[in-house]
């Protein structure tokens, strides 16, 4: 069955419709935050008969222990292969819940209701499920699509600004992979209104970029790697931050990574007009600030990039935009080029 | 990629061929028995560079703990998404190893080399992977096919007679689902020669019955339930045996279950000539003995059958043969009919 992605702020009604077509028992999965803040606002009578499973919030709970506790709860509440699991939360909940459902009795159906911007534009759509394992992010999981995803802006009013900006960085990435027009329209919109109905069409446009790409390469062998734009450098920034106990949100790292990798695209592929790059960098600096690095960090950063999980043969690989709406995956980048791009990033960010 | 099932006793050579086409690192998974008894007999030079992962033997180790230990070993030995896992063992190893591979970094390729008759004709082919969880058999898992399965009789010489007979019961089931001719040819063959080359074509014919059925219904919604023939009653016999601390092998329970359910097929569907049923019952009694039950056990057995995991709505469901080569899944059986069939089973078995 093909996945249905619904864009609506009438979340409760959309769920009612889905549950009407479903004969088995119903379960929800939330973390303790979404259980408290979101579940009471669902306005979905059909959920009254559901069994609610809750796990503690936080990336550290995207773990085998919590996955096993979800299986246990399903078992103990008599879930069978005709049951349905509704995952309500951010990427941690939809990733872990998707994996739990896909492996319970060899797979029961699940629905994703992302409640964060990052979850809505990234984690909840595209069929990647996972937990962290052995200190590695998303190392255990599988490809399995939710039967339905309900994308809304309805619960974004509870999100801190940092969460909004984190999700917005993935929207910038999608817009870069869409068109020049879409990119500048996005930068121009009032993103303080992101929790209102007016933002739904923006969200829809963004998610559709991901859907188009994933449809052509669901198992991440080829074109799906376009979605790694900004992420080779972004992940290295995240790793450097963790190793020095600085705390940066994933999307912030992606925003800075997009600046560095767009510089690389200009250097290596002669792509991307200088003015456009300037505007991207200015937007990022004004909204995200800068991730402070010095020349002394370069060796460590290069090392992280060489060990990125998408890398083969220990060389640095980036997905570079050859133009708005088009990327080259698997571009091999020399240490010299990467260092030059990091220099320009520091100039652009005023570091 | 379509699964390749190879029928050959040149197991080492077959593996060499597979590994020649593979670029990534190679891992084997065995239990401590197959590590000691089978791995040294593989005669496959290409395995010399493989990393060997071993878990303790026994159904109680088809557990989340052992699954996690396989993930850990893969991680610590630097497996990446281009690595290959070769599962060498019985159903416990191919079920658990298939699940481990299918969820490591969202899925790496795996090869199954079944070393038991039951594994060869049942577990290793058909894409069901699983571990036991929360006291329930195969409750966590997924559908995922090995890229290759190497079916051989080469390692059957180490199997105790009880193991041979256990696998042979699934071959009887396949033969019943194949044709009358195939069924009586099977009963007539010298199954003391089961570890020789002469038995390979028998094995191939048997596995192909399963392959044909699975190809039409890989996710077990419909025709695949033909393969449950004998299993509703068989599982109930197993559960009764466990609850009274009797130890019976799975295949023995299936053999007795086939007798009871063939009686039911005659009663309910007017299928199956009486002479053929007599021959089946005689063969089972002579080779498997009888599972002893009295009228006092009926209520307990009916209760187990009503809670079989394939059951909906709490009624007893069986897959009944309507003829050689044809079955009806999801036949609803009344308590009265089941008790009558159990009475006849006891007569046929001389209990």
Q: What pLDDT, on the 0 to 100 scale, is given for residue A312? A: 66
- Spell A180-195 as b/e; 16+ CB within 10 A means b: eebbbebbeeebeebb
3-state secondary structure B247-293: CCCHHHHHHHHHHHHHHHHHHHHCCCCHHHHHHHHHHHHHHHCCCCC
Non-local CB neighbours of A143 within 8 Å, separated by 6+ positions: A127, A128, A129, A218, A219, A220, B106, B107
Minimum distance, in Å, between the CA of residue A18 and any CA atom of chain B: 21
Positive or negative CA dihedral for B269, B272, B278, B280? negative
Measured CA to CA, the distance from residue B84 to residue B64 in angstroms comes to 21
Question: What is the separation, in whole angstroms, between the first and last Cα of chain A?
Answer: 51
8 Å CB contact of A133 and B105: no
Q: CA of A219, closest CA in chain B: separation in Å?
A: 9
Q: What is the ipTM of this complex?
A: 0.92
Listed residue (A37, A47, A36, A51) closest to A14, CA to CA? A47
In angstroms, the CA B76 to CA B192 distance is 43
CA distances from B45 to B40, B41, B123 (A): 11, 11, 27
Mutate to test the interface with A, among B96, B99, B106 (most CBs of A within 10 A): B106
The nearest alpha carbon in chain A to B127 belongs to A106
Residues of A with Cβ-Cβ distance to B128 under 8 angstroms: 106
Tens digit of each residue's pLDDT, chain B (351 residues): 678 999 999 999 999 999 999 999 999 999 999 999 999 998 888 899 999 999 999 989 999 999 999 999 999 999 999 999 999 999 999 999 999 999 999 999 999 999 999 999 998 899 999 999 998 889 999 999 999 999 999 999 989 999 999 999 999 999 999 999 999 999 998 878 888 898 999 999 999 999 999 999 988 888 999 999 999 999 999 989 988 888 899 999 999 999 999 999 999 999 888 999 999 999 999 999 999 999 999 999 999 998 776 666 678 999 999 999 999 998 999 999 999 999 999 999 999
Distance from A115 to chain B by nearest Cα, in Å? 24
Whole-angstrom Cα distance, residue B258 to residue B253? 9
Strand partners, A5: A149
Is the Cβ–Cβ distance between B317 and B332 less than 8 Å? Answer: yes
Q: Can you give the pLDDT at residue B312?
A: 66
B311 vs B231: CA distance, rounded Å: 12
More confident residue, A221 or A187: A187
Cβ separation A107–B312 shorter than 8 A: no
pLDDT, tens only, A259-310 = 999 999 999 998 888 999 999 999 999 999 999 999 999 999 999 998 776 6
Rounded to whole angstroms, how far apart are CA atoms B187 and B302? 30
Q: Rounded to whole angstroms, how far apart are CA atoms B284 and B256?
A: 7
Percent of chain A residues past pLDDT 90, beyond the cut: 83
Which residues are CB-contacts of A264 (< 8 A; sequence separation ≥ 6)?
A318, A320, A331, A333, A337, A338, A341
| Cβ neighbours, 10 Å, residue B265 | 26
pLDDT of residue A247: 84
Looking at chain A, which residue has its C-alpha nearest residue B144? A106
> CA–CA separation, B120 vs B126, rounded Å?
11
Three-state SS sequence of A70-93: HHHHHHHCCCCCCCEEEEEECHHH
């Amino acid at each position: 069955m093909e996945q249905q992605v619904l864009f609506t702020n009438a979340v409760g009604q959309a769920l009612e419709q889905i549950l009407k077509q479903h004969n088995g028992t119903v379960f929800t999965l939330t973390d303790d935050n979404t259980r408290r803040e979101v579940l009471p606002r669902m306005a979905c009578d059909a959920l009254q008969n559901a069994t609610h499973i809750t796990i503690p919030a936080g990336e550290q709970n995207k773990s085998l222990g919590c996955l096993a506790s979800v299986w246990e709860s399903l078992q103990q509440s008599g879930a069978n292969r005709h049951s349905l699991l509704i995952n309500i939360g951010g990427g941690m909940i939809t990733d872990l819940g998707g994996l739990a459902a896909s492996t319970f009795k060899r797979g029961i159906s699940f629905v994703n209701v992302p409640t964060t911007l990052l979850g809505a534009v990234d984690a909840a759509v595209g069929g990647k499920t996972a937990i962290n394992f052995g200190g590695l992010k998303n190392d255990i999981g599988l490809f399995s699509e939710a039967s339905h995803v309900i994308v809304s802006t309805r619960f974004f009013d509870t999100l801190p600004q940092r969460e909004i900006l984190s999700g917005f960085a993935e929207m910038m990435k999608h817009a870069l992979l869409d068109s020049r027009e879409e990119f500048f329209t996005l930068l121009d919109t009032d993103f303080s209104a992101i929790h209102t109905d007016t933002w739904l069409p923006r969200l829809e446009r963004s998610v559709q970029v991901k859907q188009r790409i994933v449809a052509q390469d669901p198992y991440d062998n080829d074109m799906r790697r376009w979605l790694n734009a900004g992420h080779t450098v972004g992940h290295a920034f995240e790793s450097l931050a963790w190793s020095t106990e600085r705390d940066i949100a994933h999307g912030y790292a992606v925003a800075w990574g997009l600046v560095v990798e767009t510089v690389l695209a200009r250097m290596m592929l002669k792509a991307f007009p200088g003015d456009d790059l300037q505007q991207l960098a200015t937007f990022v600096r004004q909204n995200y600030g800068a991730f402070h690095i010095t020349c002394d960090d370069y060796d460590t950063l290069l090392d992280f990039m060489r060990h990125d999980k998408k890398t083969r043969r220990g060389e640095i690989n980036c997905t570079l935009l050859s133009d708005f709406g088009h990327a080259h995956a698997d571009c091999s980048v020399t240490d010299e080029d990467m260092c030059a791009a990091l220099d320009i990033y520091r100039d652009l960010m005023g570091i």
